[in-house]
Each structure stands twice: as C-alpha cells, then as structure tokens.
C-alpha cells in the first residue's frame, strides 16, 4: 500500500517539477523564474522525503532537512536583489 | 659533522654583521673575519688527513627519493678551492673595511659576502651533485645581491639582472645535466660517480649531458659567448669584483670541469667543444681587454681571457693540462685579486679609474705601484713571477695539441693570447703607474692606510714566492689537487722556472717582446679595432631578452587573450585532441560495455529533462545575467539531487550549500556590474563555439557512457575497504578528506584562506584611490521596500541556533555519517550570512564575537597543529589515530585525531565565506552611500 502511495506521489511531484520548468522557460519576468526555482526546491524536498519513505533510510530525511534549511536563502537573496539591489546592507 | 660546519658557519654567521654593525665598523669587520677564520680553521684541521690520502666525508639523507642528500667530502680538489675561497675571503674582508664609504651599509655588505662564501664553499665540498646545484644557484643569487649592492645606481641594477639571468639560465641547464648524469651513472654521489666514467662516456645520453653541464660551467665562468655578463658585473664594489668576479665565483665553472673531469673528459666531443671554447675566449677577451680604458673593465676582460685559458687546459683532456689548469687557478687568484684591489685603491685615492686620466702614480703612491707592477708582471707572464710558470705550462701543452688535424692552430692562437695578455698588462702598468706625473687628477693621490694595501701585499708576496720557489711552496698542493681532479696517479712532473730550451720558452719570449711591440703600435692597432665589427654585449643581451619576451607574449597571447572563450577553446580543444589521439591509438571498439544499465526511474527522467531544458534555456538567456543566475541555481539543484540518487549524500549536501553561497556572492557582485553582457562575438564565432561545444559534449557523453557500462576497478574500492580499519570512520568520503588525502585537504584550505585574504586585500583597495572614484560614479536606482523586513529578521534569528546545532552535529558525526568540516562550515556560514542579509551588515558585524581573519588563521593553524601532533609520536605528518573511550552519560564514543583537523577545516570555511562576502557588501554599502549623497546634492541643486 505504502509503495503504491509513494509511486503515485513520485509521479505527481515529477509532473509538478516539469510544470515549474514550464514557468522557468516561459517567464516572462525574473520574479516568475525565482518563484519557479523556489517551488522547485520545495518539490525536490518532497521528492527526497518520499524517496526516504520508499527506501526506509534516515539519510534522505537529513538531506531534506538541510535542503529546507538552506534552500530558501537563495530565494531570499534573489528577492532582496530585485527589491533593494544590495543583498547585504 | 665538522665538514658540514665548514659550509654552514658562513651561512649562520651571515646574521652577525648586520647586528655587529651597531657596535661600529671595526667590530663588524672583526666579527665577519672571525666567522671566515673559524671556517678556515676547521678546514685546516682536515689538511693532514687529505694529504695522507684519506677523504673525510659526511652523508645525511635529505630527499632520498630524488637522490638528494646532504653530503660533503673533502679531497684535494675541494680542499684547494675551499682554502682559496676562505683565505682570499679573509683578505677581502679586511680590504673592504677600508674600501666601503661611511654611507655604505657595511652590515648588509658583509652579510651578503658571507652568504656567498658559504654557497661557494658548499659547491666545492658537496659530495652530492644535486646539492652542488643548490649551492650553485645560491652563488648566483648572492652574486646578484652583491653586484646590485649600490642599488641606487642604474648600472648596478642592470649588471646584477644580467648576471642573474645568464648564470641563472646556465644553472637551469646544469640542473638538467646533473639529473641526466645521475640517471646514467645510477648515483648522485660524486665519490661513487667519479669511478663510473666509462659508463657515462659510453651512454647514448652522454652528448646531451655534456652540453647541458658545459652550458652551466661556461655561463658561470664567463666563456665566450656567455662572457657578456662579467664586464657589467664590475658595477659592483671593488672587493666584490676582486672576490667573486676574479678569484672565486667565476672559477666555479672551472672547478666543475675539473671535478667532473674523470667522468666527462677524454672523448673527442669534450676536446672539440671545451678546448675550442677556451681558446676563443682567451684570445677574443684579451683582444678586447687591450682597448679598455676603464681599469676594472680591462681587468674584467683579462679575467675572462684567463678563465678561457683554464678552460682550454682542462679541455685538452691530458693530466698535464689539469696540472697546469690547477696551478693557474692558484696563480690567477693571487695576482688578479691583488690587481683588482690595487685598481680599487687607485680609484679610491685618485678619484678615477680611467686609464687616460691617470699616469705617473709611481712617485705618488709608491707602495701601491710596486705591488701592482709586481702582480701585473705576473699577469703578463714575466719570468720569476708565478703567472709565468703556469702560462709556460699552458704554452707547452698547446704546442703539441693537434685540433681537427691542424697542428698549427693551437700553438699560434695560444701564443697570440699570451702576447695580447702581455700587451694589456704592459699598457696598464705604463699608463697608470709609469710615465710623467700629471696635475689634473680628480683627487690628490697618495698611498692608502695599511689595512687597505696589506691584503694586496700578502697576495703579491705569494706571487713572488711561488714564482721563485714553485716546487717547494706549491708543488705538494698542486700535486694533491690535480691528482684528485684526475682521479688517479699523475705522471711525473716538476714545477720549475727553467725547463730547458723548450718550444714554450720561445713562444713565451715571443709573446713578451711582441706584447711590448704591440703597445708601441697601439694607435694603429686601435684604428684596426675600430674598423672591425664591435658587437656590444649589453645591446645583444637586451635584444635577445626583448626577443624572448616578444615571442613568449606572442605564444601566450595566441593561447590566452584574457577572454574566457579563448581560454576555454584552448583547454577544450587540447583535451579533445588528446582523447581523440588515445582513441585512435587504441583502435575502434564497441562503445557499450557489458555492464547492465540501471532502470530509468521517473524522477531520474524528470531530472534529466529539467537539466536539458535548463541548459538550453541558459544558451538563450546568457546575456541576461540575473536570469542566467536563476537558471544556474536550477541546474545546481538537479545536480545535487543526482548526487543523492547515486548514493553520495555528502556531495549532495556540499553541492546545495555551495550553490547558496555562490548565488549570494554573485548577486553581491552583480549589483556593481551591468545587468546584461554586451554582445561581442560575431555570428561565425558563435556558430564555431557552438559546434565545438556540441562536438566535445557528445564526445564526453560517449566517454561517460563507455566508462559507466564497464566494470572498472578503481582506487575507491581500496579506500572503501580501508576506511574503517585504517581511518577509523565509516564515512569514506570524510576519511579520504581528513586522513587518506589529508595533505591535499590541508593544501586546499590554505588556498581557500589565501583566496579569502586576496579578496579582502583587493576590495580594500576599492575603498581608496581610483577604484573608489569609479565606484562613486555608479548610480543606483531608488529602492523599494524595507531593507530589513520584520518577518525575515524574526525567522532568521529563530533559525540561527537551530542551524548552528545542525552544523555542529554534522561536523561531529562526519567521520562516520555524511557530514564533516566542509559541509558543516558551509551550513554555519549560511546561517550567519542569513543574519547579515536579514538584519544588516552593521547589526551582524557588531554582534560577531569572532573575527573572520582570526577564524581563517586559527583554522589553518589548528589543522596544521593536528597534523604536526603525529610527528611527536614519530609518525609522518597528518597520520591520524583513533580510539574508543567510555564517557559517563554519553556511553561509548569514538575520538579520532582527525576530528581536530576537521574542526580546523570547519573554521577556515566559515571564515572564508564570511570574510569574502562581508567585504564585498561593505564596498557596495560605501558605493550606495556615495551615490545617495550625490543624488541629494544634485537634487537640492536643481530648482
């Protein structure tokens, strides 16, 4: 049962990643692309967690934790750049 | 040990003069003389041993893998040269005390002089030929310092540079030659090498070895056409000219020829190259010397000529030639050093050393004149002085030398050389000391203080004593030296003034009378010289250096024009060419191996698609720098997911954290740069680059496919196997980083810290001067929003302790589970950078308890100390150890010494990230402030 659920989740996440890529390609603004990247990081974390459940290892969860902890920093930096120019002021 | 001390004492003693000069010039001189005297005393204790036929030696391994050992030995040849160097050194030190002026820094001078002395003694006592090359280079360096001693004079600097370039290039050739020689003979120790002459001479590598070694010897001993540097080295103070450029250093080449004589000589190649070079040098330099008006220039060319004479003698390849050469080394050192010092006295007292402005000094400076006339007579080859004896031996050898079937060649040219030598000696004596007294000397000449002429007198008396009683005074020394050089028994010989009516006597007589006749016909000779082409050494040298610079610029410019596309094209094309050559050589084979492929999972295919699309997109958007940066982040994300997929969690974690830090760094830089890249490439260039990239990309993909479908055995299997038993950790990546390849990591963190400090230093200059003015002209658009949004500030502050705990956790468990100092450092750096971003530079900087510089330095030092600690237990640098300890409450824990190393890595990484990013943001802060100020000014200025 759990493996079927995982497979379904993986397909769903893969599709959403491809949708993110569509936004990345289509744009048209830098803001759209930054959002695409941010969402893609979220999806990647989801993918890692699902993979961790599937293979039953804790290592994947740790990786997901780290992705979550540092992944948003890039988004913040991009946003500050767009709004303020200087990232560290 | 005593032998090594003879070499080391001058080096160690070199620190004394700069300190002793505080106590005055006499103390400084006495201290320097004491150092040399001590070395000489130690050398003298070995004299009985050497003369009884023993060869004291010492050998300590230095780099045994490379054949380099710290080994010395004293045989007759070494003893002779070392004695010459130290005795003349002692005289020179006394002379220099009175020669140097009040404004010259005596401490520095003696320091250089002792450095030179140590290097020179090192050359002549080295047993290991690579060690000899090391000392050889040291003499080039110390000679450079001494020639450039008066560094405020352009001539000094030019002469020093020229000497360094010529002798340094020769040293490089010599190193190559010595490596070849050691390779052929199978040993780098001279004491063994000297017995393997036959092996060397029959080797097919003999000729290249010989040429390389001769290049070293000829450049050092100023043989034609490398003699150009020596006359320009005369810009040095006279004690240096007397010591280095006539008595000792320039004889290093002659010494080398004598040292390697048993190994290299006796072949037609040796005879044809060495004797001819010597002959040409002797005659050409003597010819030039005849017309020099500067006393020191005359003596310099005469030195070149006499060095040619010694080289020629060694080139003959006969034991008698060696005897004569050794004897002439001794004689030349005595009379030439004395002459140089006399020239220095004349220059010092009369205020000029231009022959045309001197004359009649015999009455004004009687002591100096008598000493100079005696030594010049020796140089001319007048009987009863020592120069006559060795010159006659030379003529005797030349008289029956047949070169390339021509029996007349050597006798005639050798006589011509001797004749010219007599002529310039006579000109020197006549024009400077004899003749009528003049009234227009720049200074009123008189004899110098005793200390200045005493060294000359010592040498001049040696000239006379050896000249009168050669067999008694020098016979045993020459015999011992020459037999050591030949490496066997010598034929019967006798040093004497009278050998009967030999051809040499007639040649000698002809040379002396002819020399005087030449002086009589000087003005017509001068016209002849002016009619002949006279290439100027300095111009030729500068021309060839300029040519070299031009050609290397051309090569460099065609390979790398400073633009990335060219660099990448060269690298990629070279790599592709090498790969293609390998493929062609191996012959065609199936692309796919036998290994079964993994199933293509949905996430893998998705990742692949994302990567493909993102790469395509970046080609389209690369001119828009921000868009390119966003797309690169996507690529980085997919790559780290791929690492995770292929069971490399360490790499995945590193990749994602590096991505973040890089993005912040690039965004900081982008704020100071234009937003778009200008389009500079032509369409054809773009198409060419595209074709190249596609071809090489397809090639790399094929290669990766071919490798991955084959099961190959790599070193990683060994590493994985040994990780736990040898390194004490189950995380093989971390064990490799901190243990198996610890030295690599240590180098890397040093590079990292250098990079961080360079960024700091470079950007610091952006706050001053021209860069600052340029930054001030940048215009920033008005900004929207809050610089420090409340939500972000609160979230990051709450997150900080959590991130720090995660970082420390990842650091501590790194040895056994994914993690380690590098990843932990990045995580902590990101956590701290978040504070900088959210709460501002000023806020974060004020609260930072640890300075980034201290973190970098402390990290490297900690890692280094962790490595050094293993030395205390007698193990090599960076050996790690581990053990299991029972700690109450925590239970059984494992502690590895590599942990300390990893903590060092951690601190270096944190410090590097913080320092480089914070410095960049500080520059931006200043720029924005300046921009705001100017905007306010112009705003108020407008109505």
Each residue's pLDDT tens digit, B874-894: 777 777 777 666 777 666 666
Cis preceding-peptide flag for B225 (omega within 30 of 0)? yes
pLDDT tens-digit series, residues B890-939? 666 666 777 888 899 999 999 999 998 888 888 887 777 777 776 666 65
What are the b/e assignments for B417-426, b being 16+ CB within 10 Å? Answer: bbbbbbbbbb
Question: Is B667 within 8 Å of A70 when comparing Cβ atoms?
Answer: no
- Chain A contact for B816 (CB, 8 A cutoff): no
Question: Is there a contact between B903 and B862 (Cβ–Cβ < 8 Å)?
Answer: yes
Q: How far is A79 from chain B (nearest CA, A)?
A: 10
pLDDT of residue B918: 83
CB contacts, 8 Å: B649 with chain A = 59, 62-63
pLDDT tens-digit series, residues B47-96? 888 888 888 888 888 888 888 899 999 988 999 999 999 999 999 999 89
CB contacts, 8 Å: B656 with chain A = 66-67, 70-71
pLDDT band at B600 (very low <50, low <70, confident <90, very high): confident
State the average pLDDT over residues B300-320: 92
pTM above 0.95, yes or no: no
pLDDT of residue B602: 87
Residue B850 pLDDT exceeds 90: no
pLDDT band at B943 (very low <50, low <70, confident <90, very high): very low
CB contacts, 8 Å: B802 with chain A = 69
| B101 phi and psi angles, rounded to 5 deg | -80, 175
Residue B870 pLDDT exceeds 60: yes
Query: What are the Cα distances from residue B875, in Å, to B69, B101, B149, B880?
Result: 21, 54, 45, 9
Q: Which of B617, B633, B780 lies nearest to residue A74, judging by beta carbons?
A: B633
Q: Which residue of B has its CA nearest to A27?
A: B627
- Chain B contact for A80 (CB, 8 A cutoff): yes
Highest mean pLDDT among B505-519, B629-643, B870-884: B629-643
Residue B172 pLDDT exceeds 90: yes
Q: Which of A48, A74, A84 lies nearest to residue B644, judging by beta carbons?
A: A48
Question: Is A89 within 8 Å of B799 when comparing Cβ atoms?
Answer: no
Q: Which of B346, B432, B323, B338 is nearest to B379 (CA)?
A: B338
pLDDT of residue B597: 81
d(CA B482, CA B479): 5
Question: Is A74 within 8 Å of B627 when comparing Cβ atoms?
Answer: no
Q: Which of A11, A21, A77 lies nearest to residue B837, judging by beta carbons?
A: A77
Question: Is B606 within 8 Å of A83 when comparing Cβ atoms?
Answer: no
Question: Is there a contact between B638 and A47 (Cβ–Cβ < 8 Å)?
Answer: no
pLDDT tens-digit series, residues B778-818? 766 667 778 888 988 999 999 999 999 999 988 888 877 77
| B728 phi and psi angles, rounded to 5 deg | 75, 20
pLDDT band at B683 (very low <50, low <70, confident <90, very high): confident
According to DSSP, the residues that pair with B57 across neighbouring strands are B73
What are the b/e assignments for B659-689, b being 16+ CB within 10 Å? Answer: bbbebbbbbbebbbeeeeeeeeeeeeeeeee
Q: Which residue of B has its CA nearest to A45?
A: B641
Residue B642 pLDDT exceeds 50: yes
Residue B347 structure tokens: 């220059």
Residue A22 structure tokens: 């569509």
| Helices and strands per DSSP (H, E), number in chain A | 3, 0
Angle (nearest 5°) at CA B697 between B692 and B699: 100
Residue B521 pLDDT exceeds 60: yes
**Burial degree of B447 (CB within 10 A; 0-12, 13-18, 19+):** middle
Q: Select from A37, A88, A89 the residue whose CB has the most chain B CBs within 10 Å, as the one to mutate to test that interface.
A: A88
State the average pLDDT over residues B203-220: 93
pLDDT of residue B938: 61
d(CA B425, CA B376): 6
State the average pLDDT over residues A50-70: 87
Q: Which of B664, B781, B802 lies nearest to residue A87, judging by beta carbons?
A: B664
Q: Which of B149-158, B760-769, B909-918 has the lowest mean pLDDT?
A: B760-769
Q: Which residue of A has its CA nearest to B624?
A: A30
Question: Is A74 within 8 Å of B787 when comparing Cβ atoms?
Answer: no
For the question of an ipTM over 0.85, the answer is: yes
Residue A46 pLDDT exceeds 90: yes
Residue B631 pLDDT exceeds 60: yes
Residue B561 structure tokens: 């024009």
Q: Residue ranges per domain, chain A? A: 2-84
pLDDT of residue B476: 86
d(CA B490, CA B479): 8
Q: What is the DSSP string of B492-514?
A: P----S---S-HHHHHHHHHHHH
pLDDT tens-digit series, residues B723-738? 777 777 788 888 888 8
pLDDT of residue B539: 83
Residue B675 pLDDT exceeds 60: yes
pLDDT of residue B447: 84
Please report the number of interchain residue pairs, chain A to chain B, with beta-carbon separation below 8 angstroms: 153
Question: Is A89 within 8 Å of B649 when comparing Cβ atoms?
Answer: no
pLDDT of residue B144: 93
pLDDT of residue B332: 92
Q: Which of B132-141, B426-435, B851-860 has the lowest mean pLDDT?
A: B426-435
pLDDT of residue B942: 38
Residue with tokens 């050559």: B581
What is the CATH T-level fold of the domain A2-84, as seen in this structure? Helix Hairpins (1.10.287)
- Chain A contact for B613 (CB, 8 A cutoff): yes
- Chain B contact for A29 (CB, 8 A cutoff): no
Q: How far is B657 from chain A (nearest CA, A)?
A: 7
pLDDT band at B940 (very low <50, low <70, confident <90, very high): very low
Q: Which of B356, B359, B360, B278 is nearest to B311 (CA)?
A: B278
Q: What is the 3-state secondary structure (H, E, C) of B362-387?
A: HHHCHHHHHHHHHHHHHHHCCCCCHH
pLDDT band at B941 (very low <50, low <70, confident <90, very high): very low
Mean residue pLDDT of chain B comes to 87
- Chain A contact for B775 (CB, 8 A cutoff): no
Q: Which of B308-312, B860-864, B918-922 has the lowest mean pLDDT?
A: B918-922
pLDDT of residue A57: 83
Question: Is B664 within 8 Å of A65 when comparing Cβ atoms?
Answer: no
CB contacts, 8 Å: B806 with chain A = 65-66, 69
Residue B772 pLDDT exceeds 80: no
Q: Which of B610, B653, B664 lies nearest to residue A21, judging by beta carbons?
A: B610
Q: Select from B602, B606, B918 the residue whose CB has the most chain A CBs within 10 Å, as the one to mutate to test that interface.
A: B606
State the average pLDDT over residues A15-34: 91
């Amino acid at each position: 049962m759990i493996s079927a659920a995982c497979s379904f989740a993986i397909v769903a996440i893969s599709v959403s990643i491809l949708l993110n890529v569509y936004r990345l390609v289509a744009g048209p603004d830098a803001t759209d692309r930054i959002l695409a990247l941010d969402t893609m990081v979220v999806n990647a974390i989801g993918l890692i967690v699902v993979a961790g459940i599937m293979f039953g290892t804790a290592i994947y969860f740790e990786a997901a934790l780290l992705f979550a902890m540092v992944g948003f920093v890039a988004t913040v930096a991009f946003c500050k750049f767009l709004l303020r120019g200087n990232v560290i002021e | 040990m005593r032998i090594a001390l003879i070499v080391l004492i001058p080096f160690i003693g070199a620190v004394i003069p700069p300190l002793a000069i505080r106590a005055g010039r006499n103390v400084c001189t006495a201290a320097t003389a004491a150092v040399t005297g001590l070395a000489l005393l130690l050398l003298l204790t070995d004299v009985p041993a050497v003369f009884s036929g023993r060869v004291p030696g010492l050998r300590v391994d230095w780099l045994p893998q490379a054949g380099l050992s710290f080994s010395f030995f004293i045989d007759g040849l070494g003893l002779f040269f070392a004695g010459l160097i130290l005795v003349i050194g002692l005289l020179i030190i006394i002379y220099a005390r009175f020669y140097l002026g009040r404004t010259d820094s005596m401490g520095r001078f003696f320091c250089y002089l002792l450095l030179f002395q140590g290097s020179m003694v090192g050359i002549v006592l080295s047993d290991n030929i690579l060690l000899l090359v090391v000392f050889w280079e040291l003499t080039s360096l110390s000679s450079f310092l001494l020639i450039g001693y008066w560094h405020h004079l352009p001539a000094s600097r030019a002469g020093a540079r020229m000497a360094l370039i010529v002798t340094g290039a020769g040293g490089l050739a010599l190193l190559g030659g010595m490596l070849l020689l050691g390779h052929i003979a199978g040993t780098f120790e001279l004491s063994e090498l000297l017995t393997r002459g036959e092996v060397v001479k029959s080797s097919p590598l003999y000729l290249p070895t010989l040429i390389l070694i001769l290049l070293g010897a000829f450049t050092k001993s100023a043989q034609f056409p490398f003699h150009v540097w020596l006359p320009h080295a005369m810009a040095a103070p006279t004690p240096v000219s007397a010591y280095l450029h006539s008595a000792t250093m320039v004889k290093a080449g002659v010494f080398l020829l004598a040292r390697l004589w048993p190994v290299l000589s006796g072949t037609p190649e040796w005879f044809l190259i060495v004797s001819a070079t010597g002959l040409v040098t002797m005659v050409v330099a003597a010819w030039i010397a005849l017309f020099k008006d500067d006393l020191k220039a005359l003596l310099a060319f005469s030195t070149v000529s006499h060095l040619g004479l010694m080289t020629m003698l060694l080139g003959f390849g006969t034991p008698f030639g060696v005897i004569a050469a050794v004897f002439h080394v001794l004689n030349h050192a005595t009379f030439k050093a004395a002459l140089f010092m006399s020239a220095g006295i004349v220059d010092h007292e009369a205020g000029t050393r231009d022959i045309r402005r001197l004359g009649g000094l015999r009455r004004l400076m009687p002591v100096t004149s008598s000493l100079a006339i005696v030594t010049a007579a020796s140089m001319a080859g007048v009987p009863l002085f020592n120069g006559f004896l060795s010159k006659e031996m030379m003529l005797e050898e030349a008289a029956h030398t047949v070169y390339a079937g021509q029996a007349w060649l050597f006798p005639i040219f050798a006589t011509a050389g001797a004749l010219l030598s007599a002529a310039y000696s006579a000109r020197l004596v006549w024009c400077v000391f004899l003749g009528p007294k003049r009234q227009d000397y720049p200074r009123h000449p008189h004899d110098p203080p005793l200390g200045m002429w005493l060294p000359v007198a010592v040498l001049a008396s040696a000239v006379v004593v050896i000249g009168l009683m050669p067999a008694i005074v020098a016979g045993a020394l020459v015999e011992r030296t020459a037999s050591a050089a030949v490496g066997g028994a010598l034929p019967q010989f006798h040093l004497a003034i009278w050998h009967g009516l030999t051809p040499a006597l007639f040649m000698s007589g002809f040379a002396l009378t002819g020399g005087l006749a030449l002086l009589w016909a000087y003005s017509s000779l001068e016209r002849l010289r002016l009619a002949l082409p006279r290439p100027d050494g300095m111009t030729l040298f500068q021309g060839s250096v300029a040519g070299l610079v031009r050609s290397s610029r051309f090569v460099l410019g065609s390979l790398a024009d400073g633009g990335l596309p060219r660099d990448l094209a060269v690298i990629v094309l070279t790599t592709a060419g090498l790969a293609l050559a390998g493929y062609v050589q191996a012959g065609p084979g199936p692309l796919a191996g036998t290994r079964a492929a993994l199933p293509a999972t949905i996430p893998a295919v998705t990742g692949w698609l994302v990567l493909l699309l993102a790469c395509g997109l970046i080609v389209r958007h690369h001119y828009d720098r921000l868009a390119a940066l966003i797309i690169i982040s996507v690529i980085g994300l997919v790559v780290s997911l791929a690492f995770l997929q292929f069971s490399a969690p360490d790499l995945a974690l590193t990749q994602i954290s590096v991505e973040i830090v890089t993005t912040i760094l690039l965004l900081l830089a982008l704020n100071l740069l234009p937003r778009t890249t200008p389009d500079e490439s032509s369409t054809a260039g773009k198409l060419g680059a595209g074709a190249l990239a596609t071809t090489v990309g397809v090639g790399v993909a094929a290669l990766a496919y071919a490798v991955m479908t084959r099961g190959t055995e790599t070193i990683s299997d060994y590493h994985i196997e040994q990780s736990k038993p040898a390194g004490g950790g189950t995380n093989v990546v971390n064990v490799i980083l901190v243990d198996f390849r610890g030295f690599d990591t240590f180098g890397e963190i040093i590079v990292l810290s250098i990079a961080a400090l360079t960024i700091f230093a470079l950007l610091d200059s952006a706050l001053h001067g021209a860069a600052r003015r340029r930054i001030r002209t940048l215009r920033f658009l008005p900004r929207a929003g809050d610089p420090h949004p409340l939500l972000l500030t609160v979230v990051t502050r709450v997150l900080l302790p959590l991130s720090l705990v995660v970082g420390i956790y990842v650091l501590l468990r790194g040895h056994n589970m994914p993690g380690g100092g590098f990843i932990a450092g990045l995580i902590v750096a990101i956590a701290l950078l978040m504070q900088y971003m959210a709460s501002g530079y000023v806020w974060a900087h004020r609260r930072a308890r640890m300075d980034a510089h201290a973190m970098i330095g402390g990290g490297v030092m900690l890692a280094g100390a962790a490595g050094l600690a293993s030395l205390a237990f007698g193990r090599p640098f960076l050996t790690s150890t581990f053990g299991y300890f029972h700690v109450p409450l925590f239970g059984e824990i494992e502690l590895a010494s590599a942990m300390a190393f990893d903590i060092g890595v951690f601190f270096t990484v944190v410090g590097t990230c913080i320092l480089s990013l914070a410095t960049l943001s500080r520059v931006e802060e200043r720029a924005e402030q300046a921009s705001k100020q100017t905007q306010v000014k112009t705003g108020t200025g407008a109505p």
